[in-house]
Amino acid sequence: MKDRTFRFLASRRGTGSRWVLSGLTAVAVLTAATCGEAATPAGTLIENTASATYASASGQNFTTVSNTVTATVSAVGALSVGPKETVCDPATDAAAAGVPVTKQFTIANAGNTPSTYTIAAAQTSAGKIAGIAFITPAGAQPVMIGVTSSPVVAPGQSVGVQVIVDVTGVPVGSHVTVTLTARSGGNGTATGAQSDTGSACIVLVPGASFSGPGGVGTPVNKTVNGVRFVAAPGGGSVTYAVTFEDFSAVALHNAVFSDTVPAGLVMEPASVKLDGAAAAASVNGQGIKLLLGTVAPGVAHVVNFSVGVPSGAALGTSYVNVATLSADNAPAATSLPAALSVGVGNIIYDGYSGGAAPVANATIALVDPRTGKPLVLTGSGTGVNPNNANPFVTSSSGAYAFALSANQLGMTSAPVTYDVLVSAPGFTNRRIAITLTPRAGGLLYDVSAKALDGQPLAVAGGFTLAGGPVSLDDVFGLFGNIPLFSTRAVTLVKSVDRPIAAGGDRLVWTLQYSNATVTPLGSTSIVDTLPRGIAYAPGSGRLDGVRLEPTVSGSRLSWTVPALDRQQHEIVFASVLSPGIAEGTVLTNGATIAAAIPGSPGVSANATASAAVRVIAGVFSDCAPITGRVYADLQGSSYFERGDLGVPSVRVYLEGGESVATDAFGRFSFPCVRPGMHVLRLDTTTLPATVRAYGERGYDSERSVRRLVHGLFDGTTIQDVNFALEPVR
């Protein structure tokens, strides 16, 4: 407020003399401050005087001074409420539809005395007033219209008023006017109570929100190693990525990212990044929290962080989690779930390889079991199968993938069942039923797989074979590893040296077997079951030319080897056809082989083979054969093996004087002897100079020249007696 000073000049004309009136000052006090000016405080004392000077014609001066006049400034009340918007500006007045809008008003004390204020009225052209509060240094002070007084406001100062408008149901694009009328306290002022009204505008635009990269309203995307579901081996780590954007015209305020890592996974705090740059997140146990601050609209953001997968986690263990985003002016948003399963998934492989041999050029189809036709896939293909082809042909990785719509996954209905058909050159065709059951929330599902072809399946997350159904829990885009089995995983061929034989004849059987898979197989059992009437010749068993006696249980002969490589192997053994078998009888000798699959207990590769002998009439009746060999024990093992040599032309006697001579291979045979005990004796006088008798006298040692034999006549055994001779060096 400025004083205005007026000078008055009084003059007298005629005699050459003059009066000058000076120093007379009047003050006009303005009752309202101009912009930027403060009113003169109430109670201010103003004093003024006047003086006059007279100059005579002769040049003599005369001066006089008036009395002093005193005035006191009165208390004047005045206020101004702002803003005073008359036109809405979408650039500055935009607010999110559906979210309470806060408008700020200011009450300025334009008077010259401290004052308090009440809110006389608050109105909105649409929606409703949800709250009013004075903004004080101590915080927001709720207001009751016409009742609540503001704090004391000094002249030239102001107090803020916060008005919250509920715009629920007000359409996007609406222009909403909010008015606020404030009244000053009038006691003790010359002007009494004063009031003023301010107005603010709201332009409703689509509300701020967290959306996914697909656009407004799409779910926030979360992936693990770039996909929604990943099967990862234990002992490594995986990286999650959460992608979001605000597609509205309103920024998100005080945005916060949070996630809870499933128990069992190991959080790596230093791995947290925001848009590729390291971010300082707070980690509390399995929880992670990142303050994002203000998130501008129209800009995509991504939060990354890594976790460790425990090395001891069981194959098939699933971990599922979601991220949460919140802000002051937007509803909280939950991301799509990301799922991790320990192990490896969606691989077609040679079932005997333990996962080491993926199958290329395998055709896999997802089929409607009611029609037998492949599904028309409506999901968006990615990664392995970008075109979402069905059927799909695998590459050298053996990987496959199908993207199904929510309906095809059973997310909007009851569980669904499909047939999976797989075929590949050199492998047995597969038919597997899979049932997909949605989990709570409709984002993940469980898989139950059952073989319809009698072949083993793979355990969840691994390549170990399982005999029964397999379950995968909390997965997305996963149907399991699928083992294929060679049409001839192991081969077994059986033959006999003569297809026609008479009682007493010696039969030599050969079993040839091999591993036809790409990898070695485990413990292998070869079992030969002799038909009644054919008896095993003890001591005749050979594996790849090396003596190896079978385990004999009745008519069942079995050999076991610790592993089966890809080489051709051969078992040879002898038997004798017992007398008394009716002419024309066909005796079939069957054999089986079972090779264990490494890492898959109880599962084996199998094959069968057989050979038959037809019985004809012979010259022998009720008698039993005794066979054997005389050999030079070059290996010193006291039993015939590879490297030993048969000794020809050596005579062998029975206790009754009957004798035979060995053939070129050292073999001899008494084709028909009476049942009962017999003694065989070697005629040492017929030995060549290259060998000599060991000199042992026991009847049960091959190094003895006398042997006691039991000529049982039971149709299941014969006597095969060997004589070992010491080489002369």
Question: 330-346 pLDDT, tens per residue?
Answer: 889 999 888 888 888 88
Give the closest residue to 281 by CA, choosing from 261, 296, 253, 310: 261
Q: What angle do CA 329, 331, 337 make, to 5 degrees?
A: 140
**How high is the pLDDT of residue 59?**
81
Are β-strands 691-692 and 719-727 bridged in parallel, bridged antiparallel, or unpaired? antiparallel
**How high is the pLDDT of residue 32?**
39
How large is the average pLDDT for residues 72-80? Answer: 85
The structure tokens listed for 548 are: 């190896």
CB 186 within 8 A of CB 118: no
**How high is the pLDDT of residue 719?**
66
**How high is the pLDDT of residue 718?**
59
CB 482 within 8 A of CB 432: yes
Greater confidence, 665 or 35? 665
DSSP-assigned states of every residue in 667-727? EEEEEEE-SEEEEEEE-GGG--TTEE---B--TT-TTBSEEEEEE--SSSB-EEEEEEEEE
Query: Residue 126: left if φ>0, alpha if ψ -120 to 50, beta else—which one?
Result: beta
Contacts of 285 (CB under 8 A, 6+ apart): none
| Residues facing 334 on adjacent strands | 324
Q: Which 3 state secondary structure label does DSSP give 184?
A: strand
The structure tokens listed for 416 are: 């669904």
* Residue pLDDT, tens place only, 599-609: 777 778 889 99
**How high is the pLDDT of residue 7?**
41
Q: Which 3 state secondary structure label does DSSP give 383?
A: coil
The structure tokens listed for 625 are: 């054969």
The structure tokens listed for 715 are: 């149709």
CB 308 within 8 A of CB 239: no
Question: Is pLDDT above 90 for 238?
Answer: yes
Same fold: 221-341 with 624-727:
yes
**How high is the pLDDT of residue 623?**
65
Residue 200 to residue 163: CA distance in whole angstroms: 10
> Strand ranges (DSSP E) for 153-310?
158-166, 175-184, 195-205, 221-224, 229-232, 237-244, 252-260, 266-274, 277-278, 282-284, 287-295, 301-308
Confidence of residue 507 (pLDDT cuts 50, 70, 90): very high
* Residue pLDDT, tens place only, 132-182: 999 999 899 999 999 999 999 999 999 999 999 999 999 988 999 999 999
Greater confidence, 63 or 580? 63
How large is the average pLDDT for residues 651-663? Answer: 93
Give the closest residue to 141 by CA, choosing from 168, 110, 116, 123: 116
Full-model pTM: 0.51
Question: Is pLDDT above 60 for 539?
Answer: yes
Q: Count CB-CB contacts under 10 A for residue 119.
A: 25
**How high is the pLDDT of residue 686?**
95
Question: Is pLDDT above 60 for 12?
Answer: no
Cis? peptide before 456, omega within 30° of 0: no
* Residue pLDDT, tens place only, 572-598: 999 988 877 888 889 999 999 999 887
Q: Which 3 state secondary structure label does DSSP give 90?
A: helix
Express as a percent the part of the chain with pLDDT over 90: 50
CB 193 within 8 A of CB 124: no
**How high is the pLDDT of residue 38?**
62
Question: Is pLDDT above 50 for 381?
Answer: yes
**How high is the pLDDT of residue 677?**
81
- The amino acid occupying position 461 is G
How large is the average pLDDT for residues 188-209? Answer: 89
Instruction: Tell the residue number behind the tokens 């192997």, with chain if given.
Output: 569
**How high is the pLDDT of residue 15?**
43
CA 184 to chain CA centroid, Å, is: 66
How large is the average pLDDT for residues 531-548? Answer: 92
Q: Please determine, looking at this structure, whether the domain spanning 221-341 carries the CATH number 3.40.640.10.
A: no
Q: Please determine, looking at this structure, whether the domain spanning 490-616 carries the CATH number 3.30.420.40.
A: no
Which class is 79-205 in CATH?
Answer: mainly beta
| Max mean pLDDT range (44-48, 281-285, 316-320) | 281-285
The structure tokens listed for 541 are: 């068993």
The structure tokens listed for 604 are: 């084996």
Question: Is pLDDT above 70 for 411?
Answer: no
Residue 155 to residue 14: CA distance in whole angstroms: 55
* Residue pLDDT, tens place only, 14-62: 444 455 444 433 333 333 343 445 677 877 788 888 888 888 888 888 8
CB 681 within 8 A of CB 656: no
DSSP element (H, E) containing 36: none
> Strand ranges (DSSP E) for 517-650?
524-529, 534-536, 542-543, 546-547, 551-553, 556-561, 569-577, 586-596, 604-616, 624-632, 645-646
Greater confidence, 464 or 717? 464
Residue 662 to residue 261: CA distance in whole angstroms: 82
Query: Residue 480: left if φ>0, alpha if ψ -120 to 50, beta else—which one?
Result: left
Q: What's the mean pLDDT when you consider all of the chain?
A: 86
Residue 272 to residue 281: CA distance in whole angstroms: 7
Q: Count CB-CB contacts under 10 A for residue 375.
A: 16
| Residues facing 677 on adjacent strands | 710
Widest pairwise Cα distance in the chain: 200
**How high is the pLDDT of residue 618?**
61
DSSP state of 459: P
How large is the average pLDDT for residues 252-269? Answer: 92
Looking at 3.30.390.50, 3.20.20.30, 2.60.40.10, 3.40.50.300, the CATH number of the domain 624-727 comes to: 2.60.40.10
Confidence of residue 282 (pLDDT cuts 50, 70, 90): very high
Query: Taking the domains of the chain in order of start, what are their residue ranges?
Result: 18-72, 79-205, 221-341, 344-486, 490-616, 624-727
**How high is the pLDDT of residue 461?**
85
Cis? peptide before 369, omega within 30° of 0: no
CATH number of 344-486: 2.60.40
**How high is the pLDDT of residue 23?**
45
